[in-house]
Amino acid sequence: MNNIEASEKRDYVRVPFKGNVTFRTLTEDEFQAQYQEKENWSESVSRGLISENFEDAKKAGESSVDPNLVRFLLHLEDKLDRILGLLGDKSRNGMEVGSGIDISSSGIKFRTGRPLEEGQHLEMRFVVSRYPIVCLDILGTVTRVIPIYDQGAKQYEVAANLYEFDGQTTEEIMAYAFRVQREALRSKRKQ
């Protein structure tokens, strides 16, 4: 029997991502504060402060925050930001909108009209699934910026790594990647 050795060197699968990426740049202090807050939140989750069994949590005197409610509220906030942007308040929290290019569980690539610098920290929000709704609010750092010209306009292709805190983000992005791959396979079969 032949021994087949894998030659793939990537750890992550990268798939196309056509959604909007809402982002803002962070100073080092803002980044560290948000990083610490997200890290503390994920530690609280892993210690069971968010319980799946709400009645038992209430009896034990623990917090019983529904994770689906948290996700819904984040999505609602994102929708309100979009509505305010459409109404003309584009400077809400300093957020800007870029166009997604591709995504993996370790990073994202998007296009924007303003140059960013390598090493800049970003707070990003984007929706990877409409049903069920999966809106990710995540931190990243710019790793590469390439100027490009699209129909005469100068734009920038930005690659950023993503920081994982709870394991859930990686799972959501991988679920999206598998869904995109399944859809591609189905469309190939139909041709």
- The closest alpha carbon to 22, from 119, 103, 157, 112, belongs to 112
Question: What pLDDT score was predicted for residue 44?
Answer: 57
CA distances from 55 to 47, 50, 70 (A): 17, 12, 18
Task: Write the CA distances from 83 to 78, 86, 89, 113, integer angstroms.
Answer: 9, 5, 9, 21
On the CB side of 54, how many CA atoms lie within 13 Å of its CA?
6
pLDDT one-digit tens code per residue, 35-51: 888 887 766 554 444 44
This prediction has a pTM of 0.70
Average pLDDT, the chain: 79
**Mean per-residue pLDDT, 156-183:** 88
